[in-house]
Structure 1
Amino acid sequence: MTHLITNDFPYTFEKMEADIQELKRDYPDFFQVEIIGESVEGRPLYALKVGTGRAKVLLNGSHHAREWLTSYLLMQMAEAYTQAWSSKENITGFDVRDLLNRASIWFIPMVNPDGVNLVQKGAEATQQPDAVLRFNDYRTDFSGWKANIRGVDLNRQYPAGWETIKPSADSPGPMNYKGPHPLSEPEAKAVYQFTKKHRFHIAAAYHSSGEEIYWKYKIDGNLLAISHEIAKRISEKTSYRLVDPGPDPSGGGYTDWFLTEMKRPAFTPEISPYIGPRPVPVEYYPAIWLQNQSIGLLLAEEASKLLTNP
């Protein structure tokens, strides 16, 4: 990946596709690519696999359109782990070759490619510009947009407390509209089906911003204890604070569903200092990378433990 992200040259879906093909070409024995579905506008939803082990981790990014920097982070992780696995190198103390022989890390780097495209390029880059302008109250600035191209918030689409999500918009728009029913949107449905198919031991959904980790949603007992210990390890690496959502958390999120359906640990790291309803400034990225570069490996190590000691 030779792409230098700047405010003028953000990380686009097209660049991600080119990077995926480059990694597949350069590391055919170490890097696997699968298309798990399509977005509303027909863009492929990519899943990338690094590793051959039985323990399985899933990392995803860009459920929310303006949070496209998470896609770049996950792509850089995939590249770094693939290179280290191929060359038998360590990353921050992790023996990558040994770890990825015991665990497999899957990445879905851009869950919401249509929304990312809208945020970066505007309404005219979409198939139905009049519709997205209407959803945005005819404002031409889409930098704060979180939803998919139909105005549905994909991280309010999962069947975990969907009926009582709050706050929730009443109609399609930039954020918070949960859709007519759970999994109404092809992007969320594809991630849901892929997760059910593989039954991952641990998952993480990257979001921004706030430098926080959500790790708890209506769980107790052994799962609560294990999740808390792993969350503390992530916090030690990133310096992000752990968030307790309280006794009556709002649901609908990917990790909410994973925790309650898969009954396995799931985490939502919020990268960068809090910056409000806009994309994370790219000048924050070097620090974000240093904080997160080994989180996929840390989760692979924890997943390997769970496989050994279920």
Structure 2
Amino acid sequence: MDIQVRRGDSLWSYANTFNIPLPLIIDSNPSVNPSALSIGQPIQIPGYWLSEYSVQPGDSFYAIATRERISIDSLLLANPDANPITLQIGQVVNVPQRVTTSIINPRQNYDSIVLANDLEELADLYPFIRRRSIGNSVMGKELIEIQIGNGEKVVHWNGSFHANEWITTPIIMEFVNSYLLALTNNENIRGRTMLPFYDQVTLSIVPMVNPDGVDLVINGPSEDTYGEEALRINNGSTDFSGWKANIRGVDLNNQYPANWAIEAERKPDQPAPRDFPGYQPLTEPESVAMAELAGELSFEKMLAFHTQGEVIYWGYENLEPPRSRAIVNEFSRVSGYDPIRYVYSYAGYKDWFIQDFREPGFTVELGQGINPLPINQFDEIYQKTLGIFLASMYM
């Protein structure tokens, strides 16, 4: 919601008027100097939007504010050109509305278009989100990273490395929306106050690493050369439910230089719906973008969300730091998932991250069943994952 600066206003006064934490207002207006506001300058207030109201007989700003349970000052700020003394019947005024419920619907077939629309709506409502492209997929779709918070500790989450594990993306987005709501409404999640996390932790989130593959699984092949090649790789079948790879038939989670040769020796040697590690490491733009992001941000810990099995893989070649054990034990406690230190699998993002950065890395396998997991498992999966999201920030 946009308002305009009046004489004597400050960002602190807006925080009081709208009951929004001051850091969220400051971060929603990165180009504004808080100590040098100019009259008429636009200011974004996060967590609010405007609704229109037609003045009725007997209405006043006081009556409208009382009925809507908002302050008169917030009403004045939303209507800088209105004269509150001479309201006219039928006159349209703007009423600030605090958003208290989720604005996205994650319980659906969640393809790259749904994700892009949801990210745009969230960024408009919560402009303290930092959103950027970290690269493009094979088909040119943006790989979007969002950041929330100002802490020195950078915690990274990602989803949908594997195409038919796309339910990880809406699971992540459900928490993102819940976190934003808790921040702007001064609410707790599972008894924990969220604002200290915002001050202490920077969340780096790539909700969908493999948008081409996700769209292929959900919507079928596109009518172009990419779709034709995917059909060929899939032996002519239009059933892509078993497809894990990117659009070129490369398994993005087998693309990293962490014993890649072992995987290459025992996995398919040409493009396939799953498991082909490429002809060499880091050939795919999606895997390269994720490697560059880790190098840029120096994650304090990294969580890659996959499905299925309700297990958490947390070790690699005895290179993981000692604190990884305590972290995964807490993840297990809050989720019921089983921690597994080592598994005979290599070349994954988690493996490479532990190897190159020697920081805690985790592959979290959500849910049970056959991929793609049905959306009717969403709420059960989310409730178990919620504790992991929180623990990754406080551990």
Distance 2:358 2:222 in 1: 43
Deviations 1:124-150 (A, max 9, x none): 356522211111111111011000000
Check 1:167–1:86 CA distance in 2 against 1; reply closer, same or farther (3 A cut).
Answer: farther
Equivalence for 2:138: 40
Name the amino acid aligned to 1:236.
R
Matched, 1:293 2:386: yes
Check 1:295–1:170 CA distance in 2 against 1; reply closer, same or farther (3 A cut).
Answer: same
Matched, 1:130 2:225: no
Equivalence for 2:375: 282
Matched, 1:170 2:269: yes
Deviates more, 1:126-135 or 1:177-186: 126-135
Secondary structure in structure 1 of the residue aligned to 2:380: helix
Identify which of structures 1 and 2 has the higher relative contact order when contacts are C-alpha pairs closer than 8 Å and 6+ apart: 1
Residue 170 (structure 1) shift? 1.0
Check 1:163–1:5 CA distance in 2 against 1; reply closer, same or farther (3 A cut).
Answer: same
Name the amino acid aligned to 1:28.
P
Checking the alignment, whether the CA contact within 8 Å between 2:335 and 2:387 is kept in structure 1 is: no
> Following superposition of structure 1 onto structure 2, how do residues 99-114 of structure 1 map, counting pairs within 5 Å?
99-114=197-212
Equivalence for 2:328: 231
For 2:289, which of 165, 181, 190 is the aligned residue? 190
Name the amino acid aligned to 2:348.
G
For 1:244, which of 335, 341, 350 is the aligned residue? 341
Secondary structure in structure 1 of the residue aligned to 2:205: strand
Equivalence for 2:310: 211
Distance 1:271 1:132 in 2: 27
Rg larger for? 2
Q: Which runs of 4+ in 1 moved over 6 A?
A: none
Matched, 1:3 2:99: no
Deviations 1:26-71 (A, max 9, x none): 0112x11011000000000000111111100000000000011000
Secondary structure in structure 2 of the residue aligned to 1:128: helix
Equivalence for 2:278: 179
Distance 2:309 2:193 in 1: 30
Equivalence for 2:354: 259
Distance 1:157 1:84 in 2: 37
> Following superposition of structure 1 onto structure 2, how do residues 142-181 of structure 1 map, counting pairs within 5 Å?
142-165=240-263, 167-181=266-280
Distance 1:241 1:57 in 2: 21
Equivalence for 2:363: 268
For structure 1, list consecutive stretches of 5 or more residues without a partner in the other structure.
303-310
Secondary structure in structure 2 of the residue aligned to 1:145: coil
Distance 1:4 1:103 in 2: 25
For 2:124, which of 19, 25, 29 is the aligned residue? 25
Deviations 1:229-260 (A, max 9, x none): 100100111111112325xx321100001111
For structure 2, list consecutive stretches of 5 or more residues without a partner in the other structure.
1-102
Checking the alignment, whether the CA contact within 8 Å between 2:217 and 2:240 is kept in structure 1 is: yes
Checking the alignment, whether the CA contact within 8 Å between 2:304 and 2:350 is kept in structure 1 is: yes
Deviations 1:118-177 (A, max 9, x none): 001112356522211111111111011000000000000111111111641111010010
Name the amino acid aligned to 2:241.
S
Secondary structure in structure 2 of the residue aligned to 1:118: helix
Distance 2:184 2:271 in 1: 45
Residue 96 (structure 1) shift? 0.9
User: Equivalent pairs: percent with the same residue?
Assistant: 35
Checking the alignment, whether the CA contact within 8 Å between 1:51 and 1:104 is kept in structure 2 is: yes
Name the amino acid aligned to 1:173.
A
Deviations 1:177-228 (A, max 9, x none): 00011110000000100110000100000000011100011125xx443111
RMSD: 1.4
Check 1:182–1:3 CA distance in 2 against 1; reply closer, same or farther (3 A cut).
Answer: same
If each structure's helix is expressed as a fraction of its own residues, which one has the higher value? 1
TM-score (ref. length: structure 2): 0.72
Checking the alignment, whether the CA contact within 8 Å between 1:105 and 1:296 is kept in structure 2 is: no
TM-score (ref. length: structure 1): 0.91
Distance 1:82 1:130 in 2: 41
Matched, 1:57 2:155: yes
Check 1:187–1:216 CA distance in 2 against 1; reply closer, same or farther (3 A cut).
Answer: same
Name the amino acid aligned to 1:153.
D
Check 1:126–1:93 CA distance in 2 against 1; reply closer, same or farther (3 A cut).
Answer: farther
Checking the alignment, whether the CA contact within 8 Å between 1:40 and 1:186 is kept in structure 2 is: yes
Checking the alignment, whether the CA contact within 8 Å between 2:106 and 2:171 is kept in structure 1 is: no
